[in-house]
Structure 1
Amino acid sequence: MKRWRAVAGGVAVAVLLGGCGAGTPQDPSPATTSHVVLGSQGRVEHVPPVGNGFGGYGDYAVYLPPGYGQDPQRRYPVVYLLHAGGGDADFYPDLGVAEAMETALAAGSVRPMILVMVDGGPKFAGDGSVAENFDDFFVSDLVPSVDRTWLTRPERAGRAVAGISLGGRHALAIAATHPDLAVAVGGHSTTVANLPDRTAQRLAAAGTSVYLDVGRGDGLFDSDEAFAHALRREGADVRWNPAEGAHEPAYWRGHLPDYLRFYSDELGA
């Protein structure tokens, strides 16, 4: 059984084993294996694999903002965060995304959002049909289950999908091949190799907002820059934000506030 690891930053953490107390719009609340309370503010819960999962994986962490469930009529936008190769559902909590959200909310720089962080398992790193299997699971199983379970805005305007490194590749592919799914997509230090044909054209045609960034010391810089230029040639709405840094957690952790502000702005409709 997974337990959430305590996170940095002086946040009070309580771990409870058993069911969760989240409000749910349709389905019974999923049994959670752990429940992390961030002081008296938001919370992170861990949910077992959806349906049959994805090769035994597909469990996810969900960040619920302060006040979630107090008004069962209130719906929240959702950002789906896909981990780098070798990561799991702990990847973003370990980076400090929940603390970054709490800080941004307190500063008024982002709106309350739900964050969903799924474990893609080892096959997440595959190419071709293996990678497409995860993308199909994401679209056909994960997103519908999240919309049934949590107080989401179950519409394109209420969803963004983003990823770091290999997760960015999946996010871009999903957004390009399923243009009705999400209004915004992000690729952070993204592996752009093996993207589906015409990804840039598809994102531009759909009017999907794109955020791309990479460290100048990252080996992926040249390919990411070329992809950003391809998006611009197609007339896509792209924010290209290269910065100092390398392909490492310290870079991503430092840019979490920028990512969250972008998704909050795009999900403001």
Structure 2
Amino acid sequence: MKKIIGSFVFICIVFTAFAQWPAMGKVEYKTMPSKILNEDREYAVYLPKNYMENTGKSYPVLYLLHGGGGSHTDWPQKGSLAGVANQLIESNEATEMIIVCPEAGKTFMNYFNNPEWQYEDYFFQELIPFIESNYRVIADKKHRAIAGLSMGGGGTFVYASHHPEMFCAAYAMSAYLYHQKELFWLNTDNDPVQKKIHQLVDDNNCVKLVEYADAGKVEAMKTVNWFIDCGDDDFTLRPNLELIMAMRQAGIPMQIRIRDGGHTWEYWHSALYIAIPFVTDCFRK
């Protein structure tokens, strides 16, 4: 009898502990319509823990882009987005924010406009307005940031360069900045779809974008807080170093991290612990 009573008490304690466990931010998976792309688009959204209860509060927003061949589920599932964000927010290393992970196409994946896939137009003309109409975000440059990995890192740099009036911060991780044809495993000659994708990357070459920028564009880019983060074993290291030198030559301030690691989720997961506090500092300025 004592054992039964003891077990009952233990179960009650466990349930009470769970009931008192603090609520945490979470990721939701959603879809939205797109007239530009003529199909519904998927996205993931991280909402901080007080979002549902504190209905009078609006939040800054971070758009977090996946890499080539990935999807909107990558950052939540492979990058442990909610766990990292919750930990940083609870420790006050980051402010509460909304984080949006769009899906850029599972077959013809690209962040840049082309006749078949006007994704950049979708991003600025439909996705951002949709998020700002359906979630309580602070809809101004000071409270809007962008980050991404690999091809999404290149997309991050191009988007913030094309629209510096939209973002206070841009964090590019292991950014794929142009097609590195010398790498045999990136040879796309026998794959017309991949060849077209990498041609679009080349058409939006981030290094040339800075090198050929006129004085007005350079001044506009200086209004963005830039962060370049790349592993010392990453195949994108050389292009990232070229971008860093081009930005220095142009006089565009930036933060730089060349850390131990390669083109892996271990690296990008660790980058979140730098990226989220970085954009927080920009939001708080």
**Structures share a fold, TM > 0.5?**
yes
My pick for the range that moved more, 60-69 or 193-202, is: 193-202
Say what the alpha-carbon RMSD is for the aligned residues.
2.2
Structure 1 residues without counterparts, runs of 5 or longer: 1-37
Change in CA separation of 1:181 and 1:126 when aligned onto 2, cut-off 3 Å: closer
Change in CA separation of 1:104 and 1:131 when aligned onto 2, cut-off 3 Å: farther
What is the aligned length? Answer: 232
Change in CA separation of 1:135 and 1:199 when aligned onto 2, cut-off 3 Å: farther
Once the 2 structures are TM-superposed, how far is the Cα of residue 189 of structure 1 from its aligned partner? 0.2
Once the 2 structures are TM-superposed, how far is the Cα of residue 70 of structure 1 from its aligned partner? 2.5
Of residues 27, 33, 46, the one that matches 1:44 is 27
Q: Distance in 2 between matches of 1:104 and 1:52?
A: 37
The aligned counterpart of 1:54 is 37
Determine helix, strand or coil for the equivalent of 1:68: coil
Q: Distance in 2 between matches of 1:63 and 1:114?
A: 6
**Aligned runs of 1:1-269 on 2, under 5 Å?**
40-52=23-35, 54=37, 56=39, 58-94=41-77, 95-121=79-105, 122-125=107-110, 129=114, 133-193=118-178, 194=202, 195=204, 198-199=209-210, 201=213, 202=217, 204-206=219-221, 207-269=223-285
Once the 2 structures are TM-superposed, how far is the Cα of residue 129 of structure 1 from its aligned partner? 2.0
Once the 2 structures are TM-superposed, how far is the Cα of residue 204 of structure 1 from its aligned partner? 4.9
Once the 2 structures are TM-superposed, how far is the Cα of residue 126 of structure 1 from its aligned partner? 7.2
Q: Distance in 2 between matches of 1:150 and 1:199?
A: 34
Q: TM-score if structure 2 supplies the norm length?
A: 0.75
Once the 2 structures are TM-superposed, how far is the Cα of residue 243 of structure 1 from its aligned partner? 0.5
Once the 2 structures are TM-superposed, how far is the Cα of residue 254 of structure 1 from its aligned partner? 1.8
| Preserved CA contact (<8 Å) 2:75 2:81 | yes
Match of 1:163, as an amino acid? G
Q: Distance in 1 between matches of 2:261 and 2:55?
A: 42
| Preserved CA contact (<8 Å) 1:79 1:113 | yes
| Preserved CA contact (<8 Å) 1:42 1:102 | yes
Change in CA separation of 1:236 and 1:67 when aligned onto 2, cut-off 3 Å: same
Once the 2 structures are TM-superposed, how far is the Cα of residue 44 of structure 1 from its aligned partner? 1.1
Determine helix, strand or coil for the equivalent of 1:187: strand
The aligned counterpart of 1:25 is none
Once the 2 structures are TM-superposed, how far is the Cα of residue 130 of structure 1 from its aligned partner? 5.9
Q: Distance in 1 between matches of 2:108 and 2:156?
A: 15
My pick for the range that moved more, 209-218 or 56-65, is: 56-65
Render the CA deviation track for 1:15-35: whole Å, top value 9, x for unaligned: xxxxxxxxxxxxxxxxxxxxx
My pick for the range that moved more, 259-268 or 43-52, is: 43-52
Match of 1:190, as an amino acid? A
Once the 2 structures are TM-superposed, how far is the Cα of residue 127 of structure 1 from its aligned partner? 6.3
Determine helix, strand or coil for the equivalent of 2:32: coil
Determine helix, strand or coil for the equivalent of 1:242: strand
Render the CA deviation track for 1:165-223: whole Å, top value 9, x for unaligned: 00011111111111221111111000111336534643653311111111110111011
Q: TM-score if structure 1 supplies the norm length?
A: 0.80
| Preserved CA contact (<8 Å) 2:154 2:177 | yes
Once the 2 structures are TM-superposed, how far is the Cα of residue 237 of structure 1 from its aligned partner? 2.3
Q: Distance in 2 between matches of 1:229 and 1:96?
A: 32
Higher helix share: 2
| Preserved CA contact (<8 Å) 1:190 1:220 | yes
Render the CA deviation track for 1:214-258: whole Å, top value 9, x for unaligned: 111011101101101211221212111111101011111122101
Change in CA separation of 1:231 and 1:57 when aligned onto 2, cut-off 3 Å: farther
Once the 2 structures are TM-superposed, how far is the Cα of residue 59 of structure 1 from its aligned partner? 1.2
Once the 2 structures are TM-superposed, how far is the Cα of residue 128 of structure 1 from its aligned partner? 6.1
Q: Distance in 2 between matches of 1:153 and 1:133?
A: 26
Change in CA separation of 1:227 and 1:265 when aligned onto 2, cut-off 3 Å: same
